[in-house]
Chain A
Amino acid sequence: MSDTTTSEVPASLDPSIRRTAPAVRALPFLVALASPLILDNIGWNPFGGWKILVGFIILVCVGRFAWVTAERDPNDPRLALKLWHRPDQRALSAMTCLVLVALPFVLGTDFDPPMDFPWNSWFRIINYIILFALGAGAFNLLAGYTGQLSMAHAAFLMIGTMVGAHVGLIWEQSFWLCLPVAALAGAALGALFGIPALRLRGLYLMLATIGVHFIVLLGWKEYLVHYFGFAGVRFTAPSLPSWLHWIPGINPEDGEFLINSQFRWFWLNLTITTLGLLFIVNVVRSREGRAFAAVRDRDISATLLGINVARSKLVSFALSSAMVSVSGCLLSYYNRARSEDSFNLEQVLDYGIIIVVGGFMGIQGAIFGSIFFFALPMYFEWMREELPFISDIDFFSRYAGEVDLAIRGILVVVVLVWRPDGLAGLWQSGKKRLLLRFSEPKAGAVQ
């Protein structure tokens, strides 16, 4: 089967094959986006609502999959730019999708595990993991990919919360408007607060961004006092827009579908985090993303190649801040309440721990780090209360919080000494070893 493919000139080397202009390539997407509106206006919409758009997205995914899986020259330079171009990557993401879809249904059952394992509280933890993975991924884009150590992370969580409170509660607009407004506000302010990065780097930039944190903290406190009083903000549950009510499993009460349970939040958080992380993964593989990495590795070299270093830094700040403020808005609505001391500098350290333990490079680091950060304390608590021998030790229950922190600290040290590239590095090397083990006998059989 490979006889024909090897003799042919790969498409990338064939000068007669030229890509169409980006505007032309975007045309079908724009038509598909506008199609529900157009069809509704004509008065003929046999599919109803937005199904045609979803159908188009599925079609695009299938097309992408076909492109990636088609037999082609492994040296085709376009291949390395594609997402999931290796079979193991595809298998793994399919498995992850299945697990994630099954997870809420499994957690929603009345299953009673032995030894009072806190089955139902895991739902809350998993929602937090998903939300923090988005924030940590965005932090990683700035600190890991572009190499700009920023401590203004919590500041953008505050900005997202303020936008969410103002647009959603004071102006009484829909929750779905809050998210893009939060993204825009975060991007604009992020580019503004990123300006010190043009001159400062490393520890100096970190100190400058701590300044940003306290400026925004002052703004947040003033905002709270001015609009909401000392008790803090109480957010209302968002309701799903009516044009999405056709989705199976959604049965609105009184024409409204409120996102008010862990099960419903799970789907919302998962959707937004998946979109956000996919966005980061795509940015990283683009021209802009390579420029980020070039600026991080050697900015002089990047300048010499014609990369606009100042622009790259500001774009990275803007993208990261936009996503952090979206995650801040989501977190606030999920949390229901935010007060004066909800955002302290410690939160930045939390995100820092997540990406350092998870692994600085890559989106996996953000996910593994969030799991480490939230799942472990929960697990410790259960061990302390339920496991024999351990629950007998008085010391553990007396200093519960401190013991948790100490064990977590020890684990951070262990992980970092063992694998400086974090849990993601551990995962990668484990996967590689596993793949080698499975591929070895196969190679021997061919010989």
Chain B
Amino acid sequence: MSNALKIEGLSVSYGPIPALRNISIDVPDGGFVCVLGSNGAGKTTLVRTITGVLYLQKGKCTSGSIKFGDQEITKQKSRTIVRSGVAQVPEGRMLFPHLTTEENLRCGAASRKDVSGINDTISEVFDLFPQLAPLRQRQAGLLSGGEQQMVAVGRALMAKPSLLICDELSLGLAPLIVRDLFLLLDRINKEGVAVLAIEQNARIALQHSQYAYALEVGEVVLEGPSAELRENQEVQDLYMGGGGDSREAYAAIRREAGR
């Protein structure tokens, strides 16, 4: 099986402070992969490195490579990366609050030039999110959190990506809405778009993904098929608030990773 995204031995540091150490992550073509991790694990740095906006926080990629298909995208400009087919739903949605829903979607197609194709994709996005259709002329800043997240996903889809990266899709949303959004991700995934979900909410991420990585202080500490990880005692302790000594286990694993 070929890989949509292949990260090999990636290390990133912000000045003298290392943020990611020797990370290797594979997303197969049309696969659904999630990356788990608590605060400070390096999830956001990982996404920034993939999408080429690391320079905004003065981070540097010190070693390793990121390949998208056959294309080397390490240290590329983000518009090149978007044009090659990687779209991102940024953390905290980051819509353009003064633009309407439809204009937000059109902004998502900034990397495309075909006018009629863009209009078709807009109709497709409204088919995927029928709730958004009556809100198309509404200012995006006035939508509810769940609707905003839908617009953010739709905006990413406007670029016609072959890989969709969702950074903290569940952030600040009600559990029911999170479930709906993940069901939609499943649907998008079935249509052939590979999905890389970066999540704190391990329970739902493991339910929907096929393969999972757990990130801790900049290193991959666990990986495996999601079904297996779901049964894994350690994962349950760490990310699902399981058994009594979860706090202790968590501290231990952080200590180990930090060394």
A189 within 8 A of partner (CB): no
A17 to B137, CA, bound (A): 25
**Which stretch (A104-112, A180-188, A257-265, A290-298) binds chain B?**
A290-298
* Nearest A residue (CB) for B123: A13
Report the minimal beta-carbon distance from B139 to chain A, rounded to whole angstroms: 11
Which of chain A's residues have a CB closer than 8 A to the CB of B82? 304-306
Does B218 count as interface, using CB distance less than 8 angstroms?
Answer: no
Kindly identify which residue among A18, A291, A301 contacts B90, using a CB–CB cutoff of 8 Å. Answer: A301
B94 within 8 A of A: yes
Count contacts between A and B, CB distance < 8 Å: 94
Within 8 A of A (CB), among B101-144: 102-103, 106-108, 110-111, 115-116, 119-120, 122-123, 126, 133, 136-137
Is A152 engaged at the interface, CB distance under 8 Å to the other chain?
no
Q: Is B78 an interface residue (CB 8 A)?
A: yes
Q: Which of A12, A301, A307, A361 contacts B119 (CB 8 A)?
A: A12
- Check B107 against A294 for contact (C-beta < 8 Å): yes
Task: Establish whether residues A80 and B102, one from each chain, have CB atoms under 8 Å apart when the complex forms.
Answer: yes
Residue interface mask A12-43, B partner, CB < 8 A = 1: 11010111000000000000000000000000
Given contacts A296-B98, A305-B159, 9 further A-B contacts (CB under 8 A): A12-B119, A13-B123, A19-B115, A287-B110, A290-B107, A298-B96, A304-B82, A307-B110, A361-B98
Q: Which B residues are within 8 Å of any A CB, using their own CB? A: 51, 53, 56, 78-79, 81-83, 87-88, 90, 94-100, 102-103, 106-108, 110-111, 115-116, 119-120, 122-123, 126, 133, 136-137, 155, 159
How many residues of chain A have a CB within 8 Å of chain B?
29
* Residues of the A chain whose Cβ atoms lie less than 8 Å from the Cβ of B107: 290-291, 294, 302, 305, 307
Task: State whether the Cβ of A121 lies closer than 8 Å to any Cβ in chain B.
Answer: no
**CA–CA, A272 to B229, complex, Å?**
68
Interface centre among A19, A301, A305 (most CB of B within 10 A): A305
Closest to B51 in A: A304
| Central interface residue in B88, B102, B116, by most chain A CB within 10 Å | B116
Is B96 in contact with A18, judged by CB distance below 8 angstroms?
no
* A307 vs B87: C-alpha distance when bound (angstroms): 12
A219 contacts chain B at the CB level, 8 A cutoff: no
* A–B Cβ pairs within 8 angstroms, 16 of them: A15-B120, A75-B136, A77-B119, A77-B123, A80-B100, A80-B137, A290-B106, A297-B97, A298-B95, A300-B53, A300-B56, A303-B53, A304-B82, A305-B111, A305-B155, A308-B79
B12 CB to closest chain A CB (Å) equals 17
> Closest residue of chain B to A81, judged by CB?
B106
A78 at the interface (CB under 8 A from B): yes
8 Å CB contacts to B: which residues of A289-335? 290-291, 293-294, 296-298, 300-308
Q: Is the CB of A12 within 8 A of B111?
A: no
Which residues of chain B are within 8 angstroms of A305 by Cβ–Cβ distance? 82, 87, 107-108, 110-111, 155, 159
A96 to chain B, nearest CB (A): 23
Contact residue among B87, B102, B111, B159 (Cβ-Cβ distance under 8 Å from A77)? B102
Q: Are B53 and A294 in contact (CB under 8 A)?
A: no
Q: CB < 8 Å: which of A12, A298, A304 contacts B53? A: A304
Interface membership of chain A positions 266-295, coded 1 if the CB is closer than 8 angstroms to chain B and 0 otherwise: 000000000000000000000100110110
**B99 pairs with A293, CB closer than 8 A:** yes
> Chain A nearest CB: distance from B171 CB in Å?
15
When distances are taken between beta carbons in the complex, the residues of chain B under 8 Å from A306 are 78-79, 81-83, 110-111, 159
Rank and list the top 9 A-B pairs by shortest CB-CB distance, nearest first.
A306-B82, A306-B111, A297-B96, A301-B94, A306-B79, A77-B122, A12-B119, A77-B119, A307-B110
A12: chain B residues within 8 A (beta carbon): 116, 119-120, 123
As a 0/1 sequence over residues 382 to 395 of chain A, the CB contacts with chain B under 8 angstroms (1 = contact) are: 00000000000000
Interface string of A176-210 (1 = CB under 8 A from B): 00000000000000000000000000000000000
A119 to B126, CA, bound (A): 55
Distance in angstroms between the alpha carbons of A305 and B120 in the assembled complex = 19
Q: B116 near A75 (CB under 8 angstroms)?
A: no
